[in-house]
Amino acid sequence: MPKPAAIDNDFLNHLVQTRGEQNHVCALIQEFFRSLDLEPFLHRLIWQYETDKTNPVIRQLLSEKIVIPCALDDILMANGSARGRYYEMLVQEIYRELHGENYPCDVFQEWKYQKSLGEVHCIVMCMFLNCVCLLSDDKDAKDLRGVLERKTGCSIPICSRTDCRKYLQEHSRNCTLQSDDLRRLCHTRD
């Protein structure tokens, strides 16, 4: 059974930029996650506000549930609950510690671009869903991990595409991707 992992928008966008025919690229991405034994969850607010819904590869990944959009209700179990209040408090505190300012909008309903909101929501979602890692190519993500650890004692690994590629190369028995396909997915030359 694959383990849950949160995926941020930058990581997803880099994967779908892989050149090739749409069905082939989707199959490569599916095999990439299967080889890692991960089931990637995309936070609903990220899907709603950041994800390029016109991209046919992204649409196919979501429709085939290769990447699973995760609604806030799925994370919180019930809006207005103690979990919901705790989620809201954590998002606000982590954002404040990271940026030195208050969270810029309503945690559950609004979005501001270029404010690292996606990464903050992703790292908190990881904790709530017991994800094994956050798949992120964003530099802020590693800082967020430290903030989450200080606030909650919860440590969540941050894995970039490069980290994933290195893992698969070291554990090649888990990976059926050809080395050229793995390099294409991760946009590397070595």
pLDDT tens, residue by residue, 68-96: 998 877 777 655 678 888 999 999 999 99
The CATH number given to whatever domain includes residue 124 is 3.40.50
Determine the average pLDDT of the residues in 149-171: 89
Question: Total domain count for the chain?
Answer: 1
Nearest to 162 by CA among 1, 3, 10, 6: 10
Determine the average pLDDT of the residues in 122-150: 88
Determine the average pLDDT of the residues in 32-36: 94
Whether the model pTM is above 0.85: yes
Question: Measured between alpha carbons, how far is residue 140 from residues 99, 120, 147 in Å?
Answer: 10, 9, 11
User: Which residues, in sequence order, are bridge partners of residue 11?
Assistant: none
Distance CA 48, CA 46 (A): 5
Q: What's the confidence (pLDDT) of residue 26?
A: 96
| Highest mean pLDDT of the ranges 52-66, 72-86, 139-153 | 52-66
The percentage of the chain sitting over the pLDDT mark of 70, rounded to a whole number, equals: 96
Distance CA 160, CA 11 (A): 7
Give the least confident one: 70-79, 127-136, 171-180.
Answer: 70-79
Q: Which domain holds residue 124?
A: 3-186
Q: What is the mean pLDDT of the chain?
A: 89
Determine the average pLDDT of the residues in 28-39: 95
Tokens of 142: 């590693």
Q: What's the confidence (pLDDT) of residue 64?
A: 96
The DSSP letter of residue 2 is P
